[in-house]
Amino acid sequence: MKQVTRETMEAQKYADSIQLPDTEQVFRNIKNAKRFAIDIGGSLTKIAYYSTVSYRKVLYNAEKDGAAVTDAGDYQYESSEIERLHFVKFETKYIEHWLDFIRNHLMCTKESMMGKSIKATGGGAYKFAELIQQKLGLVVEKEDEIGSLIKGCNFLLRNIPDEQFSYSRHEDPEYRFINHEPNIFPYLLVNIGSGVSIMKVEADDKYERIGGTSMGGGTFWGLGSLLTKAKGFDELLQLASAGDHRNVDLLVKDIYGGDYSALGLTGATIASSFGKAMHHGQSKGDGPGFSEADLARSLLFTVSNDIGQIASLYAMLHGLKKVYFGGYFLRNHPVSMHTISFAINYWSRGAVQALFLRHEGYLGAIGAFLMGAEECGKKKILNLYWFIHVIYVYPPTY
Ligand code: ADP
């Protein structure tokens, strides 16, 4: 296991969402992209694309071995091209804008794309197939959403170093990265996107969607937009980080005056989410006693706690010990990961482990990408072993 500081992870977490005017920057490597896949969800569209990137490696000058290097002339360089998988996401409501941008700035001509295809997954692969074909001239090859998610997840678990980790706020280190295991199965995959899908995965080709809940990332974003003035998901998450849920939630100690020891419930346990807001608007004079930030945090707890409990129950029902979380909702955010880990541990009495993924938001796009790559038999991309050597997966850019 490798220790990673909070700072390392924090670097990933609050980066701005992609702004539309930054399209040149976002697609900086796309001009020489060789293959694309797109996952069009209810909230976000995720693109995985593969391109080569030139880089220069500094080699130490053998003649001066051991001596201090004084200027650039003392170095030797090795230039090479490496192949990488890049990721981009944008809000699905802007899909027309993005397709126009790609057509106008990144494609040679629409005619040159005629007859070529793109792998697409997610509900939008169906909803927007005609639009994509009409704007880009590409044939949309639809791939099943669940199959793509699982393929992407299996690939990451097998091939990408430091992909999976557990999170424990009160331990040092908080993040524990888990090494590859020869056998990744069986596991439960809980994909928290706009809604939540829960899959039992027993082998590459043996999986089933065994459950789900409509209370997911879309609920947090939607209700959060109703309850606060936050502009967008990132602001909502920032509010939640700053808030204090105890001003909004009714705790065990608010009812019992302390712990409920007979049931092993501490006074700090949430008895009723948003319970303290029940008399909101009825009393005149003093303010509500909670802020927008408190509301956002309480909402994040409500959604994460429930998903954690449901995931834990499904895992125990099916005798599974590992639960992986995918989808764009978590964002590797400590508050959500802590709540989910706590709920899983509490309800399973430590029998089930919550595990998170660095590329959690891109499982479907990676899976669809791999399906396209595998079909390209001529280039022997079918050979996954070869694939491992040529693709390095970038840390996601949020
Ligand atoms: P879907 O495929 O249903 O769009 P995703 O896995 O892409 O699902 O997750 C979408 C959810 O991710 C949103 O509903 C929201 O809760 C969360 N999210 C995280 N970051 C952002 C962001 N920058 N913009 C919008 N939603 C975000």
Give the pLDDT confidence score for residue 29 in this predicted structure: 52
pLDDT at 19: 30
Residue-by-residue DSSP string for 228-280: S---SHHHHHHHHHH--GGGTSEEHHHHHSS-BGGGTB-TTSEEETTGGGTTT
Question: Mean pLDDT across the stretch 332-343?
Answer: 95
CA distance 350 to 346: 7
pLDDT of residue 381: 39
pLDDT at 3: 46
361 within ligand 1 shell (Cβ under 6 A): yes
Tell me if 184 is assigned to some domain: yes
CA–centroid distance, 193 to ligand 1, in Å, is 6
What is the residue type of 122?
G
pLDDT digits (tens, 9 = 90+) for 127-140: 999 999 999 888 99
Give the pLDDT confidence score for residue 286 in this predicted structure.
66
Regarding the beta carbon of 220 and ligand 1, being less than 6 Å apart is answered yes
Considering 267, 289, 311, which residue would you say is the last residue of a domain?
Answer: 289
SS3 state at 392 = strand
Of 289, 309, 338, which residue sits at a domain end?
289
Residue of the nearest CA to atom 9 in ligand 1? 193
- Give whichever of 45-54, 112-121, 152-161, 197-206 has the largest mean pLDDT: 197-206
Do residues 299 and 351 share a domain?
Answer: yes
**Distance (Å, rounded) from C-alpha 47 to C-alpha 35?**
10
Q: Three-state DSSP class for 121?
A: strand
pLDDT value, residue 284: 61
Q: Which CATH number does the domain housing residue 78 bear?
A: 3.30.420.40
| Token pair in block for residue 321 | 């010990």
**CA proximity to 394, closest of 4, 2, 28:** 28
Where in the sequence is the domain holding 86, given as residue range(s)?
A: 2-144+362-392
Spatial contact of 188 and 318, defined as CB atoms under 8 Å apart: yes
Query: What is the rounded average pLDDT of the residues 234-255?
Result: 97
Please check whether residues 346 and 372 belong to one and the same domain: no
* pLDDT at residue 267, as a whole number: 97
Average pLDDT over residues 307-322: 98
Q: Which atom of ligand 1 is nearest to the CA of 331?
A: 19
Mean pLDDT score, 190-206? 98
**Cα distances (Å, whole numbers) of residue 325 to 150, 198, 330, 383:** 11, 9, 8, 27
How far is Cα 233 from Cα 224, in angstroms, rounded to an integer?
9
Residue nearest to atom 10 of ligand 1 (CA): 193
**Is there a single domain that holds both residue 171 and residue 206?**
yes
By most ligand atoms within 8 Å of CB, the mutation choice from 44, 236, 330 for ligand 1 is 44
Ligand 1 atom having least distance to the Cα of 123: 2
H helices, E strands: number in the chain: 14, 16
pLDDT at 50: 81
Predicted local confidence at residue 1, as pLDDT: 41
Which residues, including other chains, have CB under 8 Å from residue 75's CB and lie 6 or more apart? 58, 59, 60, 61, 69
Query: Are residues 277 and 352 both part of a single domain?
Result: no
329 lines ligand 1 (CB under 6 A): yes
pLDDT of residue 108: 61
Domain shared by 255 and 379, yes or no: no
Substitution candidate for ligand 1 out of 199, 329, 331, 337 with most atoms within 8 A of CB: 329
CB 300 within 8 A of CB 328: no
Residue 33 maps to a domain: yes
Q: Which helix (H) or strand (E) holds 152?
A: helix 145-159
Residue 31, pLDDT above cutoff 60: no
| Closest C-alpha to ligand 1, atom 19 | 329
Phi/psi of residue 185, each to 5°?
Answer: -95, 160
Q: Report which DSSP code applies to 379.
A: G
Pair 239, 227 in one domain? yes
Statement to judge: residues 124 and 175 lie in one domain: no
In this prediction, residue 398 carries a pLDDT of 41
Tell me if 12 sits within 8 A of 332, measured CB to CB: yes
Q: If we measure between CA atoms, which residue out of 46, 41, 39 comes closest to residue 17? A: 46
pLDDT for residue 127 = 98
- Dihedral sign from CA coordinates of 315, 318, 321, 322: negative
Total structural domains within the chain: 3
Contacts of 344 (CB under 8 A, 6+ apart): 308, 311, 312, 315, 323, 352, 353, 354
Reported as a pLDDT band with limits 50, 70 and 90, residue 388 is: very low
User: Quick check: CB of 224 below 6 Å from ligand 1?
Assistant: no
Residue 330 has pLDDT above 80, yes or no: yes
Residue 49, both tokens? 């694309």
Whose tokens are 């969402």? That residue is: 17
User: Could you tell me if the CB of 328 is within 6 A of ligand 1?
Assistant: yes
Bridge partner list, 323: 188, 354
Same domain membership, residue 112 and residue 43: yes
Query: Ligand 1 centroid vs 329 CA: distance in angstroms?
Result: 5
Q: Would 157 be classed as within a structural domain? A: no
Q: What pLDDT is attached to residue 103? A: 81
- List the structure tokens of 112: 């040159």
Burial class (CB in 10 A: 0-12, 13-18, 19+), 249: buried
- Write out the two tokens for 322: 């590992």
Lowest mean pLDDT among 18-22, 189-193, 210-214: 18-22
CB 327 less than 6 A from any atom of ligand 1: yes
Q: What is the pTM of this model?
A: 0.85
Distance in Å, CA 365 to ligand 1 centroid: 14
Please give the average per-residue pLDDT across 360-382, as a whole number: 78
pLDDT in tens, 127-186: 999 999 999 888 999 999 999 999 999 999 998 888 999 999 999 999 999 987 889 999
Domain presence at residue 173: yes
